[in-house]
Amino acid sequence: DTAVSQTPKYLVTQMGNDKSIKCEQNLGHDTMYWYKQDSKKFLKIMFSYNNKELIINETVPNRFSPKSPDKAHLNLHINSLELGDSAVYFCASRGPGEKLFFGSGTQLSVL
């Protein structure tokens, strides 16, 4: 049983399209995150939700919109995709001791 699962694993799309990435955790954690890892491997926080409430919103273009229907799910919708959005997007949940549990990542390629 995967603790934090993301879909899809790979996403290839054209500039200007809209796409979504889904994340689910079965660990019972209250807090979930989206991170972006660019080509230089820098892992940058985008958003955090605590029990469906947005608590961290970094300087991210408003084309990115997270949604948390319940505390086990955190989805990321991206409008009008740009070349610079190409990256690996990781979902994570925070457990006891503030430890993060990561999903396997979604490799987004914008052509």
Partner 1 sequence: QKEVEQNSGPLSVPEGAIASLNCTYSDRGSQSFFWYRQYSGKSPELIMFIYSNGDKEDGRFTAQLNKASQYVSLLIRDSQPSDSATYLCAVMAGGYQKVTFGIGTKLQVIP
Q: List interacting residues with partner 1 (CB under 8 A).
A: 31, 33, 35, 40-45, 48, 50, 55-56, 90, 94, 97-105
Name which of 14 and 41 has its Cβ closer to partner 1. 41
Count of alpha carbons within 13 angstroms of residue 102, beta-carbon side:
12
Structure tokens belonging to residue 91 = 């979902």
Please state the closest distance from residue 79 (CB atom) to partner 1, in A: 25
CA dihedral 6, 9, 13, 18 (to 10 degrees): 0
User: Of the two residues 86 and 104, which places its CB atom closer to partner 1 in the complex?
Assistant: 104
